[in-house]
Chain A
Amino acid sequence: MQSLLDKIAAGQLWSFPGGIHPPTRKAALSKKGIDSLPLPDRLYLPLRQHIGVAGSCLVQKGDHVMKGQPLTQIDSSMSVPVHAPTSGLILAVQEHTSPHPSALPELSIVLEPDGLDEWRERSPLTPAEWTPASLLERIQQAGIAGMGGAGFPTSLKSAVQQPVEFLIINGVECEPYISADDALMQEQAETIVQGIEILQHILAPKAVLIAIEDDKPQAIQAMQHAIGGRDNWFLRVVPTKYPSGGEKQLIQLLTGQEVPNGRRPIDIGCMMFNVGTCFAIAQAVLDDIPLIARVVTCAGDTLQQPRNLWVPLGTPVSDLLHFCGFQPERKQRVIMGGPMMGFALPDLSAPVIKTSNCILAPSRNELPAAGEEMACIRCTACAEACPASLLPQQLLWFSKAKDSEKLDEYNLADCIECGACAYVCPSEIPLVQYYRVAKAEIREQQREALKAEQAKARFEARKIRLETEKLERQRRNEQLAAERAAKQGQTDDQAVTAALARAKAQQASPEPQAEPATTAAPAKTTQAASQDPRKAAIAAALARAKAKKQTDATAETVASSDSNETAAPAQDPRKAAIAAAVARAQAKKQADTAADTTDSDSNEQVETPAVVEDPRKAAIAAAVARAKAKKQTEAAADTAASDSNEQAETPAAAEDPRKAAIAAAIARAKAKKRKETDPQ
């Protein structure tokens, strides 16, 4: 039994189902060479010109760049950089019409050529430096993405682990009008072969298959000449049929193998590159010329000089058309890509990018606009034409019904959007457009589903976080409550002793003391303390004990909370002192006005009775004190990390008359301490 390689070597060709034979209309262009387009006034370089992600922009407005200088930086394997096609000035990095059927603006670099065309320094790789890794890196740095139309990063495609049996070079170019690859093969066959050799070096395939359609005799001749007698290189001339140039179709045509549903060609040992990509690889490796220009076919009856042109990437389509003598008709259509798979450009300022192989400006007679869509008559012409053996009618129904499940069942994903079905449809149903809409819809649904999944995950994570936070808070509160209860028990005893002490002291020295009511409270207490050493000594001892206890108690809670809160216990005694002073002053004022006591000689009598006799007023005063203390705390400790904590602490100083009394005691103690330290 012959192996597949033997069969291929023997010249066997297979076939793929379906396909159509539209008029090729290539003859006029294929015999002319490739001209160069003069540098346009402005170049618009979208940051992303391939399938994948854009690199990050390296330049800004006002920068001067050299020819071939990278303008974006790659940050993942899915991105390739964009280079300056010529030297010049960066005018802006702004949104510009994209070469996309939507013409939505995309971030682009606007370059004004300076006309000097100065190169950056170039460093070609010598064959001695060729390793798969260095070559792949060079290919990526040169910004090479598949030039056949899809624009998949070439370095990523080539960096496979699986063994490659057949390296297939696609020079088929089956779509009508387009002859860019044909012209390139005629002129640059040697360089293309060098590019294939580089790929061979990276991939080490068993055989190299180069496929060219039989309507390109000159290209076949040139390539045959360039290949010479290389071992296991086979030039395959394939019959003209659309869409032989499709990746899966060409693999089937050359090897008889079908790429399974949902798999890639590499899974059956095949790897395919466009001839344009091979040329770009050779240039990048041998001359260090990144991908900055490409061959574009400009065709159509409204162009006086249709031709193939070397076009710097970023050239607006309008410049291209102008150069070819564009004489637009009324309601002129301009198509980017071929007549089968291309799309009408809504805006001619869109630039040429790495994947643009053709600009078509047909006259109305040449390529009539689509007629009115009629009902499907179930003729099955589309099913016969479909190169992927799908059922276009069924897909049409399901697309119209937006039934994504059924579409999946009927393998819409395998549709290559070649347009053969729409071409043969006698009812002029634009089938392929329906599929494009449906595919976009499915992609959107998948994106939504993914997003919903992420949102759900985040929501769940948040729920868990809130739950743990709640538990934490609860635990802390319980702890605090327990401490407060313990403190409460102690302070009760203290209050009693303090009151007793005060009463005793008063009895011992009932010296009257005249003081105006407006004098500041701390000053008063200082005097009172100095005149009453015994009383003050007791109060001070109590205050010290209390302050210490408070610090101890808070220290525990602080350990579990923020460092910000550590400031609170340190400020606590002072805060309490202020609060107490205010409380006292107000209680006194109120007592003065309400009770209308003419006897205001003893301030001690004013203070203590106010607390004992008039608990209501004292409570009000305490509340005011609390509010003020809180305000002060907030002002002092700028970071109000947890209000609850502070609220728990401040009221401790002045929650009820008893506490106010304690606070007063502390204040007195403080005053005394100050007095004691002053003389020293």
Chain B
Amino acid sequence: MITTALLILGALALVFGAILGYAAIRFRVESDPLVEQIDDLLPQTQCGQCGYPGCRPYAEAIANGDDINKCPPGGEATVRKLADLMGVEAKPLHEEAQNAVKKVAFIREDECIGCTKCIQACPVDAIVGATRQMHTVIADECTGCDLCVEPCPVDCIDMIPLPETPERWKWDFNSIPVRMIEAD
């Protein structure tokens, strides 16, 4: 009696095991979709300030349980979104990462010696130049990641805050009609 029951249960276990095993292979998900989702939230500056070489490796690290507050370029907004996605508490950014102003790299061109070191450091190929030729930054492509500043042997790269333009200007709520004009 007991043997029959065991046999039946055993057979069932084998059948379901086989089905599950087959399904695991047949319907395998190629990459972790969570990583994709996290990667989409990250700002893609590829700056490495999180300690990982690029945004995707950090996304993978978050998926594996790393802190979500290591991305200074993303700021609080990214942390909030990551917290929503991961279902964890939104932590404040690391101290030095707060109040980050959008910046863009600028090469003081007459000081550049053309060593190409910054070109190799740029994660998004936003610096153009050749050996012993002056280099320059394509400002529109620069993500402001700071990675080119360190390798420069002559310290000719500045990170300058992005200038405000009328297109980028946000209605500063507190300054709408408050400022008054002294007429001439």
Residues of A within 8 A of B (CB): 98, 100-102, 104, 106, 318, 321-322, 326, 328, 331-335, 343-348, 369-370, 430, 433-434, 436-437, 440-441, 444, 447-448, 451-456, 458-459, 461-462, 640
How far does the alpha carbon of A102 sit from the alpha carbon of B42 in the complex, in Å?
30
Residues of B within 8 A of A (CB): 42-46, 54-55, 123-126, 131, 141, 143, 164-166, 168-173, 176-177, 179-184
9 tightest Cβ-Cβ pairs between the two chains A and B: A328-B183, A344-B177, A331-B180, A452-B44, A440-B170, A456-B44, A458-B124, A102-B169, A436-B171
Name the B residues within 8 Å of A334 (CB-CB): 181, 183
Residue of A nearest to B145 (CB): A455
Using known A-B contacts A102-B169, A106-B166, A461-B125, determine if residue A455 contacts B46 with beta carbons closer than 8 Å.
yes
- A104-B164, A345-B181, A441-B170 given; name 17 further pairs at CB < 8 Å: A106-B166, A328-B182, A332-B180, A335-B177, A346-B181, A348-B183, A430-B176, A434-B173, A437-B171, A437-B173, A440-B171, A455-B45, A455-B46, A455-B141, A455-B143, A459-B54, A459-B123
Let me know if B170 and A462 touch, CB within 8 A: no
B78 to chain A, nearest CB (A): 10
Name the B residues within 8 Å of A346 (CB-CB): 179, 181
Name the B residues within 8 Å of A454 (CB-CB): 141
Residue of B nearest to A104 (CB): B166
How far does the alpha carbon of A104 sit from the alpha carbon of B172 in the complex, in Å?
13
Name the A residues within 8 Å of B177 (CB-CB): 333, 335, 343-344, 369-370
Name the B residues within 8 Å of A640 (CB-CB): 131
Residue from B43, B46, B55, B181 within 8 A of A348 (CB atoms): B181
Q: Can you list 27 residue pairs at the A/B interface with Cβ under 8 Å?
A: A98-B166, A100-B166, A101-B176, A104-B165, A104-B169, A326-B183, A328-B183, A331-B180, A343-B176, A345-B181, A346-B181, A347-B181, A348-B181, A433-B171, A437-B173, A440-B171, A452-B43, A452-B44, A452-B45, A453-B44, A455-B44, A455-B124, A455-B143, A456-B44, A456-B55, A459-B46, A462-B124
Name the A residues within 8 Å of B173 (CB-CB): 433-434, 437
How far does the alpha carbon of A448 sit from the alpha carbon of B176 in the complex, in Å?
25
Let me know if B179 and A344 touch, CB within 8 A: yes
Using known A-B contacts A100-B166, A462-B123, determine if residue A348 contacts B141 with beta carbons closer than 8 Å.
no
A99 to chain B, nearest CB (A): 10
Residue of A nearest to B179 (CB): A346
A214 to chain B, nearest CB (A): 31
Chain B interface SS verdict (over half): loop
How far does the alpha carbon of A456 sit from the alpha carbon of B170 in the complex, in Å?
26
A436 to chain B, nearest CB (A): 4
How far does the alpha carbon of A441 sit from the alpha carbon of B182 in the complex, in Å?
31
Name the A residues within 8 Å of B44 (CB-CB): 452-453, 455-456, 459
B162 to chain A, nearest CB (A): 11
How far does the alpha carbon of A448 sit from the alpha carbon of B75 in the complex, in Å?
12
Let me know if A458 and B125 touch, CB within 8 A: yes
Residue of B nearest to A98 (CB): B166
How far does the alpha carbon of A347 sit from the alpha carbon of B179 in the complex, in Å?
10
A402 to chain B, nearest CB (A): 8
Residue of A nearest to B55 (CB): A456
Residue from A321, A370, A441, A456 within 8 A of B183 (CB atoms): A321
Name the A residues within 8 Å of B54 (CB-CB): 459
Residue from A101, A335, A452, A461 within 8 A of B171 (CB atoms): A101
Name the A residues within 8 Å of B141 (CB-CB): 454-455, 458
Residue of A nearest to B43 (CB): A452
Residue of B nearest to A640 (CB): B131
Name the A residues within 8 Å of B164 (CB-CB): 102, 104
How far does the alpha carbon of A391 sit from the alpha carbon of B173 in the complex, in Å?
21
A344 to chain B, nearest CB (A): 4
How far does the alpha carbon of A454 sit from the alpha carbon of B123 in the complex, in Å?
12
Name the A residues within 8 Å of B182 (CB-CB): 328
Name the A residues within 8 Å of B43 (CB-CB): 448, 452, 455
B179 to chain A, nearest CB (A): 5
Residue from A332, A430, A447, A459 within 8 A of B124 (CB atoms): A459
B73 to chain A, nearest CB (A): 9
Residue of B nearest to A445 (CB): B77
Let me know if A332 and B55 touch, CB within 8 A: no
Name the B residues within 8 Å of A104 (CB-CB): 164-166, 169
A341 to chain B, nearest CB (A): 13
Name the A residues within 8 Å of B169 (CB-CB): 100-102, 104, 440
Name the A residues within 8 Å of B170 (CB-CB): 437, 440-441, 444
Name the B residues within 8 Å of A318 (CB-CB): 183-184
How far does the alpha carbon of A447 sit from the alpha carbon of B54 in the complex, in Å?
21
Using known A-B contacts A101-B171, A455-B124, A459-B54, determine if residue A333 contacts B181 with beta carbons closer than 8 Å.
yes
Name the A residues within 8 Å of B46 (CB-CB): 455-456, 459
